[in-house]
């Protein structure tokens, strides 16, 4: 496992390759559809938030207040990333994002932005929301809670050894694209064989 800590330098992002298993530690910001569209449309981040060298997690965490009044994440599974494909490339470019975390991969515009600006897509395990929540050591803050609601807010999370796999790297490779192409070729071969 490769240990990776935020803020992530461009050099560190470019050292990663498709298939690398990573333990991510440091600060991660959640961001889903509302935040991505808001930023894409020219909205500004709160002054206390910087994505520079940071990681955006496509996640709508389940967060409660414990007995002491502190926020606590009880579930933190990834959401499907392709919904952010229209916006993600621009946010990587404009905000210096080095890591995008989610599930299911992303499309060619994000893949190109990762290569051009030195970013990686980190695949988190779906269906393991409670396990991933255990890697969240602290909720440091929340932004846009009233504006967007809890699942769509920006949650600033402190994580430790958060397990992810690089599936789009900064060298132009996408495991998602490769699997799709291989599957398409296998299907075409079977259809062709069945026609004879």
Q: Quick check: is 36 catalytic?
A: yes
Q: How many CB atoms lie within 10 A of CB 126?
A: 14
Pairing of strands 2-5, 21-30: parallel
Which H/E stretch holds residue 3? strand 2-5
Residue of 36, 58, 123, 176 marked active site:
36
Residue 80 DSSP one-character state: B
Q: Is the dihedral of CA 123, 132, 128, 49 positive or negative?
A: negative
Q: What is the distance between the alpha carbons of residues 48 and 191, in angstroms, rounded to a whole number?
A: 55
Angle, vertex CA 171, rays to CA 135 and CA 98, nearest 5: 40
Tell me which residues are annotated as active site: 36
């Amino acid at each position: 496992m490769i240990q990776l800590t935020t803020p992530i330098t461009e050099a560190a992002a470019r050292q990663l390759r498709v298939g690398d298993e990573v333990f991510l530690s440091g600060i991660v910001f959640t961001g889903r559809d509302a935040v991505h569209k808001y930023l894409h449309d020219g909205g500004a981040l709160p002054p206390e938030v910087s994505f520079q060298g940071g990681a955006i997690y496509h996640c709508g965490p389940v967060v409660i207040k414990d007995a002491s009044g502190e926020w606590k994440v009880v579930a933190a599974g990834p959401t499907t990333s392709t919904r952010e494909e229209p916006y993600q490339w621009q946010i990587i470019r404009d905000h210096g994002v080095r890591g995008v975390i989610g599930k299911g991969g992303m499309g060619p515009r994000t893949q190109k932005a990762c290569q051009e600006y030195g970013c990686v897509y980190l695949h988190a395990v779906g269906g393991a929301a409670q396990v991933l929540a255990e890697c969240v050591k602290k909720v440091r803050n929340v932004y846009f809670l009233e504006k967007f609601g809890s699942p769509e807010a920006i949650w600033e999370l402190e994580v430790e050894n958060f397990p992810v796999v690089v599936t789009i790297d900064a060298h132009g490779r996408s495991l998602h694209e490769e699997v799709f192409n291989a599957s398409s070729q296998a299907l075409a071969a079977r259809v062709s064989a069945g026609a004879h």
